[in-house]
Structure 1
Amino acid sequence: MSGPTTLSGPGADLHARGVRYALASFVDLHGVCKAKAVPLDHLGAMLTGSELFTGAALDGVPQDVSDDEVAAVPDPASAMVLPWRPDTVWFASDLQLAGRPFEACSRTILRRATEQAAAMGLRFNLGVETEFFVLRRAADGGLQPASASDRLDKPCYDLRGLLDNLGWLDELVQAMNALGWGVYSFDHEDGNGQFETDFGYAEALVTADRVTFFRLMAREIARRHGLIASFMPKPFADRTGSGAHFNMSLADLGSGENLFTPDDGQPGWVSELGRQFIAGILRHAPAICAVIAPTVNSYKRLVVQGSMSGFTWAPVFICFGNNNRTNMLRIPGAGSRVECRAADSACNPYLAAAMLLAAGLEGIREGLDPGDPNLVNAYRLSPEECSARGLHALPRTLGEAIEAFAADPLSRRVFGDAMADAYIAFKRDEWSSYHGAVSAWETDRYLELF
């Protein structure tokens, strides 16, 4: 293909913008980008699936070494020119095998879930709050906040910490807005070196593409400033971990009307449809947890204590409520949406969104009732009080979560057999490997104790 190439959206008129290379990108099991690059003159072939990948070489692309390669077929509407490298355009891609959708493609798994919603006349809208740490290497090789002044015991919303980091933050926010994401807020979070950006919600597939690209972009911009952007859920034992709160609502597919808005307009709550959606998620919460909190480290975030400022602000119980941040599912003060607070920044956004949506749709189809909301600080409840209120704990470890995922039929309905098997095998192995490692905590405690 030669001559100018015109696409809609951010990738329009790529030749005129000086773009020379195109990336056919998809994600592995972890939500990490994989890609091949082609000169722009070969874009036409790339858009039809010319770029092939050996699935057996990747985590969570379940294939044998003898299988045919999968093809990455870019979604033209997803085109984003790299703000830090404007001669290159990125495309989110769906994987195909032998000309048909590859069952275990993360993006295809979410697409299947959104198609189920569309068959019910619904569109899944999603906004994700991106929390992450930006750090630098100390002289001794350890990690410290990017700003030397970022030392407060309670640094949440610290203006000095925000201003000291405004150089790389401004570059990141300007890049997000140039891509049309509509950043409306950013701040210093509760951990030293921790930040959050908030941008406009969109249809779930678009938001998942943007979160995937955001992690790539934040890491690259931080690196150019000599810094490390980390999406590890809990990099420091004594600081708050990084969530990726999923803010969810369903809209009428035709009118776009938010169907979670209460009929009586009462702020702070959701409609009966929204309650049914909540009930479906609560029913499958343990299995969902293995996907929205997918690492060994994730469960060191989902605890009551573990922050210099006191509470961790992360949920530990399967419950919902109003603006109360101790619930797994929170209905923010403005109402008309549901926020899942158990999701963290290490999740694969496609798989996480697919599981949450599928569970919520089940709740709607079956007319489930979530019961009474939890309106109190769940952190302060005794085990007896939790039992009396019917509050059950989220999985306490990755091992517990992955066994819940394996036992729940919803997991295979959403992932398909090949991806479910790959996910279970990988996460069981991750849990086993963690238990085989000897930590500094163990040597510090036991080496000379006896």
Structure 2
Amino acid sequence: MTGTLISNASAEATLEQIRETIKEKSVELLHLQFVDIEGILKHVTVTSAQLEDVVEGKMMFDGSSIKGFSPINKSDLYLQPDLNTFAVLPWTVEEGYSEARFLCSAANPDGSPFEGDTRNVLKKTVERAADQGYTISVGPELEFFLFKNDDNGYATTELTDKAGYFEPSPHDLGERVRLEIYRALKAMGFTIEASHHEVAEGQHEINFKYSDALTAADLSTTYKWVVKTIAKKFGMHATFMPKPVFGINGSGMHVNMSFFEGSENAFFDPSDDLQLSDKAYKFIAGLLENVKSFTAVTNPLVNSYKRLVPGYEAPCYLAWSASNRSALIRIPAKRGLATRVELRCPDPSSNPYLTFAVIASAGLDGIEKGLEAPAPINDDIFHMGEEERAFRGIDNLPGSLAEAVKELEAGEIAFNTLGEHVYNEYVSMKKAEWNSYRTAVHSWEIDNYHSKF
């Protein structure tokens, strides 16, 4: 499954393959999927007999009913499927019946890209990089927790196991679920590289192969949907909430990114001490310069900032290193074509289209402006005192969603990357979310104050 643009000739060939698969697999229903501004998956279902209309972008929907999309007086939008995202859904396959899906971009009635569609936002960033001769390669790592469902199928707060990092069965009670997720993903075109239990109880990770930025975002969106769907079949609830349990590690979405110039990795230079190119250092500098102003995108929830605290392996300090996992930015050991920059703060509740867009844009800014990366920090930042961090010039990420939104508004990277429509809707949405949280009375307050005062 890919999200790359295809020529008219290859599009017709791809469409012919889709027709053959629909016939061979007895596909009756097609789910046309897209995401809202928060990255929540939506879909409308049509019959496979409507394939030609689907491919021609004739399927209309009410954009005013999608949060952050269109006003009611300009509500008509159309879905334009990416043919490369066609996939039969393996859990629907029966004798003589199955279902399939397309991931779609939203378009205006005149056929132009709808500016409120976050998939279109990422496409613009990809085009910006292409104008400078780069293709963007992204490898995301999304962690999740498994909780038990109750008898009615609703999520409880009871974890499914007490296993730890890399533990096998019988301690890892999610092993069977991960196997079924792996099989479903593989059937849908994923290349799976690793599957394992994570550090925290009930926490898991399944890694898939890197790809171009748009495909990586499509895969991330699909991955979250498949994980939740398969978990439910086992009577479990999968959550990508960053910090669902107090006192243990939260879930991250480390983003590995590199730029390619043709077939060459633009971040690799064998003559450098760290084998990093000048562009790689400038990319790192761009991230450090802009990260505080895009954290509200990569870490979008009130809950996100309960993960970004010292003591739980979450990077909250602005520094980079070639090996140090306490730094915000790490350069994994592999070099050559595998040379990449890993940003460790994003979490899996974020919209991957927006997350990859702002990261790539920040890196491009660093290259365009010739920013200079500071010296790497190879010491354990988690165990440094506040004075030492200040002396060494190590700043912090925003400590709350409110702080992050202020930083976002103070900077330029989000507005320039997201565009006016998505930026304004996103800021409004996040301010409303913070205000709802700020004015709510939480159980911690009841537990600590109700009897005492």
The TM-score, its normalising length taken from structure 1, stands at: 0.92
**Residue 18 of structure 1 pairs with residue 21 of structure 2:** no
The one of 96, 110, 120 equivalent to 2:107 is 96
1:444 pairs, out of 431, 443, 447, with 447
> 2 CA distance for matches of 1:270 and 1:162?
41
User: Which amino acid counterpart does residue 201 of structure 1 have in structure 2?
Assistant: Y
Task: Determine whether 1:327 maps to 2:327.
Answer: yes
2:198 alignment counterpart: 189
Residues in 2 aligned to 1:325 and 1:10: alpha-carbon distance in whole angstroms: 44
Partner Cα separation in structure 1 for residue 22 and residue 59 of structure 2 = 20
Q: Does 1:105 align with 2:120?
A: no
User: Which deviates further from its counterpart, 174-183 or 204-213?
Assistant: 174-183
Q: CA deviation at 1:156?
A: 1.5
Change (3 A) 1:237 1:372: same
Change (3 A) 1:11 1:396: farther
Tell me the number of residue pairs that the alignment of Structure 1 and Structure 2 aligns: 432
Assess if the C-alpha contact under 8 Å between 2:147 and 2:156 holds in 1.
Answer: no
Structure 2 partner of 1:317:
317
- Give the deviation of 1:60 after TM superposition: 2.5
Match of 2:74 in 1: 67
Q: Which residue matches 2:41?
A: 33
The answer to which structure has the higher helix fraction is 2
Asked whether the 8 Å contact 1:320–1:327 carries over to 2, the reply is yes
Matched, 1:144 2:158: yes
The match for 1:309 is none
Deviation at 1:141, TM superposition (A): 7.8
> Which of 43, 50, 57 is 1:42 aligned to?
50
Q: Establish whether residue 406 from structure 1 lines up as the match of residue 406 from structure 2.
A: no
- Cα 1:138–1:101 change in 2 (3 A) is closer
Task: Read off the aligned partner of 2:140 and give its amino acid letter.
Answer: V
Q: Is the 8 A contact 2:294 2:413 kept in 1?
A: no
SS at match of 1:284: helix
The secondary structure found in structure 1 opposite 2:346 is coil
Offset at 1:346? 0.2
- What letter matches 1:287 in structure 2? S
**TM superposition shift of 1:269:** 5.0
2:90 paired residue number? 83
| 2:315 counterpart letter in structure 1 | P
Assess, with a 3 A threshold, how the Cα gap between structure 1 residues 324 and 50 changes in structure 2: closer, same or farther. same
Provide closer, same or farther for how the CA distance between residues 272 and 161 of structure 1 changes in structure 2, counting only shifts above 3 A: farther
Letter in 1 for 2:301: T
> 2:155 and 2:188 mapped to 1: Cα distance?
35
**Are residues 12 and 31 of structure 1, via their aligned partners in 2, closer, same or farther at CA, if it must alter by over 3 Å?**
farther
Aligned equivalent of 1:270, options 254, 270, 276: 276
Q: Distance in 1 between matches of 2:16 and 2:367?
A: 35
Structure 1: segments with no counterpart, 5+ residues: 306-311
Residues 146-187 of structure 1: per-residue CA shift (max 9 Å, x gap): 2xxx335xx122223665322211111112222332211111
- What letter matches 2:53 in structure 1? A
The answer to whether the Cα contact below 8 Å between 2:166 and 2:198 also exists between their aligned partners in 1 is yes
- Report the 3-state secondary structure (helix = DSSP H, G, I; strand = E; otherwise coil) of the residue aligned with 2:137: strand
Give the deviation of 1:263 after TM superposition: 2.9
Q: CA deviation at 1:10?
A: 7.9
TM-score by length of structure 2 reads 0.91
CA, structure 1 residues 264+164, in 2 after alignment: closer, same or farther (shift >3 Å)? Answer: same
How far the C-alpha of 1:68 sits from its partner, in A, is 3.6
Residues 249, 313 of structure 2: 8 Å contact kept: yes
1:53-112 deviations in Å (ceiling 9; x for gaps) = 222212222x21111411110111111221212422211111111211111210000000
Measured after TM superposition, the shift of residue 130 of structure 1 is 1.6
Given the alignment of the two structures, is residue 57 of structure 1 paired with residue 65 of structure 2, yes or no?
A: yes
Query: What whole-Å deviation, never above 9, does each CA across 1:305-359 have from its counterpart, x for those lacking one?
Result: 2xxxxxx111111111112111111111224101111010101000000000111
* 8 Å Cα contact 2:148-2:155 kept in structure 1: no
Runs of 4+ with deviation above 4 angstroms: 8-12, 138-142
Q: Is the 8 A contact 1:317 1:392 kept in 2?
A: yes
Counterpart amino acid of residue 267 in structure 2: F
Q: Could you tell me how far apart the structure 2 residues matched to 1:130 and 1:198 are?
A: 7
Matched AA of 2:382: Y
2:301 aligned with 1:295: yes
Instruction: Answer yes or no: is the 8 Å Cα contact 1:8–1:77 preserved in 2.
Output: no
Deviation at 1:6, TM superposition (A): 5.8
Hey, what's the Cα distance between the residues in 2 that align with 1:269 and 1:71?
47
Q: Give the CA RMSD over aligned residues.
A: 2.0
Alignment correspondent of 1:358: 361
- Counterpart of 1:134 (choices 123, 141, 146) is 146
| Secondary structure in 1 matching 2:22 | coil
The question of whether the paired residues in 2 share the 8 Å contact of 1:270 and 1:337 is answered with no
